[in-house]
């Protein structure tokens, strides 16, 4: 007796930004991971189809905003035969605390993944306190 194991593949729907009504077209909320290191927070955001010329990271009044537009080719040399992602832009916001040194934030983009390094301020970094003998 053999049992056949079949798995139905389903399209993953990207969540859309509900309150973003000022942008034309569909706007997606990119998935992010946030890791805390000793001296910084590291945020990675998935922005498939976006290159470094089409991503913008902005800090204004304590809010860090990520915006990305899908890179388009001027000559349309390729046409997707199958795509699980709908076309549209990306938008995500984070409110930063005073634990982040806003002047030293760095961003890099590689293969559709945005990486943000958010350094902690000196007073929020862990430090060793020497114990004196009495």
CA distances from 52 to 46, 100, 123, 133 (A): 13, 24, 33, 55
Distance of alpha carbon 66 from alpha carbon 116, whole angstroms: 10
Higher pLDDT, 71 or 123: 123
CB of 116 closer than 8 Å to CB of 40: no
Higher pLDDT, 32 or 2: 32
Q: What is the mean pLDDT of residues 70-81?
A: 61
Higher pLDDT, 108 or 23: 108
Q: What digits encode the pLDDT tens for the residues 20-42?
A: 456 667 788 999 999 999 999 99
Q: What is the pLDDT of residue 125?
A: 73
Tell me the domain boundaries of the chain.
27-69+88-123
Architecture of the 27-69+88-123 domain: Sandwich (2.60)
pLDDT tier for residue 127 given thresholds of 50, 70 and 90: confident
Query: Token match 């077209």: residue?
Result: 25
Per cent of the chain over pLDDT 90 is 48
| pTM of the predicted structure, to 2 decimals | 0.70
pLDDT tier for residue 71 given thresholds of 50, 70 and 90: low
Distance of alpha carbon 123 from alpha carbon 76, whole angstroms: 52
Distance of alpha carbon 100 from alpha carbon 118, whole angstroms: 6
Using the predicted structure, report yes or no on whether residue 132 has a pLDDT greater than 80.
Answer: yes
DSSP the chain: ----------PPPPPBPSS--SSSS-EE---EEEEE-SSEEEEEEE-TT--GGGEEEEEETTEEEEEEE----TT-----S--SSPS-EEEEEEE--TTB-GGG-EEEEETTEEEEEEEBPGGGS----PPPP-
Q: What are phi and psi of 103, to 5 degrees?
A: -75, -15
């Amino acid at each position: 007796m053999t049992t056949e194991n079949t798995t139905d593949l389903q399209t993953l729907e990207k969540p859309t930004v509900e309150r973003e009504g000022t942008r034309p077209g569909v706007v997606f909320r990119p998935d992010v991971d946030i890791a805390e290191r000793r001296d910084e927070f590291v945020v990675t955001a998935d922005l498939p189809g976006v290159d470094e010329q089409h991503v913008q990271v902005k800090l204004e009044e304590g809010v860090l905003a990520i915006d990305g537009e899908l890179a388009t080719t001027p000559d349309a040399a390729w046409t997707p035969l199958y795509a699980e992602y709908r076309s549209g832009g990306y938008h995500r916001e984070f409110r930063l605390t005073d634990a982040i040194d806003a002047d030293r934030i760095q961003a890099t983009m590689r293969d559709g993944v945005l990486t943000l390094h958010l350094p902690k301020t000196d007073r929020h970094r862990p430090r060793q306190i020497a114990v004196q003998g009495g």
